[in-house]
Chains A and B, each alone.
Chain A
Amino acid sequence: MINPLRSEAEAFRFLIYVVLVVGAIVAVVLIVRALS
């Protein structure tokens, strides 16, 4: 399991995951808003 506190490399990987997940959530919300 990823632990962003263990090393800088893991923190960097965690940041990339957050960017991808938050980006996906924002995209879904914007699409739903546009359709409704």
Chain B
Amino acid sequence: MESASIAVGHAEEHEHHGPPPANRSSRIEAQFLGMLLFIISEVMLFGAFFTAYFFIRVVNHDHWPALGTKLPVAVAGVNTAILLSSSLTMHWSLVSAKNENRFGMRAGLLSTFLLGLTFLTVQINEYVHIGFAPHDHAQGTIFYGLTGLHGAHVFVGLTLLSFATIRAFRGHFSAKEHRGVEVPGIYWHFVDVMWIIVYSTIYVL
């Protein structure tokens, strides 16, 4: 009898795998704190680039864009609409996941990915035809720096979306467990927010 209870005790001990749970020194949930610190660092990164932009426009009173150059405002405007519509499809995807609508979730994720890819392709095409290089003048450096930094974030977002899309088509995610769609969704909306600010300052104002 005693040996049987010892055997059960040993079995319970062996059920736990992996390292012991990490020490929690903060009252904020670890995942939330991680995302918060990440977004704060991202805001500071974009802030550094915007500081350079405002320096040459407000402090130096340089011409924007540089004399003899023109920014494709209309094309970038259409691209903005494409990116904003991708946020709509992202939201549709998560709402579908919460309602156990697998078709909606998959279609939403796939269309978000394709719209994001279209945005990036149009931006690369813009770089090819814009007519100035980053080393031509300060305005060019800031233009490529800000739009390129944002483009890099779109690329990261597309990578996350590709993982989520593949998982969705493999039958993952449900009404209860959809964190794999939710987290890329939050990131994707953040990328859109940054683009609204970049587009307004760089192209429109």
Contacts and interface: CB of A to CB of B under 8 A. Distances in A.
Nearest to B38: A5
* Most chain B beta-carbon contacts within 10 A, residue among A6, A9, A12, A29: A12
Interface in B154-205: 181-182, 185-186, 189-190, 192-193, 196-197, 200, 204-205
Q: Classify chain A's interface size.
A: 10 to 19
A21 B200 CA distance: 11
Contacts of B182: 7-8
Contact of A15 (B39, B189, B205): B189
A14 B35 contact: no
A9 B182 CA distance: 9
Contact of B193 (A6, A18, A25): A18
A15 B192 CA distance: 7
Interface of A: 4-9, 11-12, 14-15, 18-19, 22, 25-26, 29-30
B36 interface: yes
B91 A8 contact: yes
B36 A15 contact: no
B94 interface: yes
B84 A5 contact: no
A35 B86 CA distance: 36
B90 interface: yes
A19 B190 CA distance: 12
A14 B193 contact: yes
B197 A19 contact: no
Given A19-B196, A22-B196, A11 B190 contact: yes
